[in-house]
Amino acid sequence: MLTFILKKEWYEKIKSGEKTVEYREVKPYWNLRINKKFHLNQLPSEKIFRDKCPIRGEGFFTDFEYGLKVANHPLPKCKLRLGYTKKYMIANIRKIEVLNGKDTDLAIDKLVYAIHLSNVKEADLMKKKISYIWQLPQNLLGLIIVLITRAKYETDLGFYCTYSFGWFGVSLGNYIIFSGSPSKISINHEKGHQKQSLYLGWLYLIVIGIPSFVGNVCDRLFHKKWSAEKRITWYYKQPWEKWADKLGGVKRYEKS
């Protein structure tokens, strides 16, 4: 996740919605981070720059809002930190342009990155700590699984991913963990389980976790001869799974 260190003036303006674009001068420091994060085909240079006209090709103009909507993926996120304090906001990156910086906050006659922001939310650190303790049993179990599987957090997708084990997907408190590349339905289903965890707290493993695990094991052991469609229908008709689907906005197709 890209992190931008901000002065109090700009932090407050972004927080209030007055400022929706953050600027950074095109330098090796930001070239490296932006290129590494978004895999741009080519880096900006004065040679091909057209004054006062955004470059719209070969990575100089990246419209995530359109491209990712088509690809059915969430927008990439960034962290906006107030100086070097613990206070920060999380925002979506809608698109990145390269502009001449004369008419920007930087007021320099050089190339700058214009990072367009949306859905800016300030982090409530105390609320996050209380939430973690409220879900402590499943959080500890999730953390253990992340360490064992060496899963890596996919910031823009909002879950942990590992390729070291056979297919599985699990939601344990703050930790949603997948092995392989999950479908949108699977992601939303596990996000539904995550909401159940927030509602139930320490009761989550008893009310949801254990029944879900037992149902998964029973399906794998006793339904091997069933069709994939029949197995999916049986599994997701269990009350705890139906509730997760509802919370995650999942609508499964079932033949009448």
Q: Would you state the CATH architecture of domain 2-123? A: Roll (2.30)
Residue 84 or 156, more confident: 84
One-letter amino acid identity for 20?
A: T
Check whether 53 has a pLDDT greater than 60.
Answer: no
Q: Of 100-114, 148-162, 220-234, which gets the smallest average pLDDT?
A: 148-162
Check whether 61 has a pLDDT greater than 70.
Answer: no
What pLDDT does 59 receive? 37
- Tally of residues, the chain: 256
Q: Write out the two tokens for 23.
A: 């600027």
Q: How far apart are CA 142 and CA 147, in angstroms?
A: 9
Q: What is the pTM of this model?
A: 0.66
Q: Any idea where the domains of the chain sit in the sequence?
A: 2-123, 127-248
What pLDDT does 239 receive? 95
- When pLDDT is averaged across residues 222-234 and rounded to a whole number, the result is 92
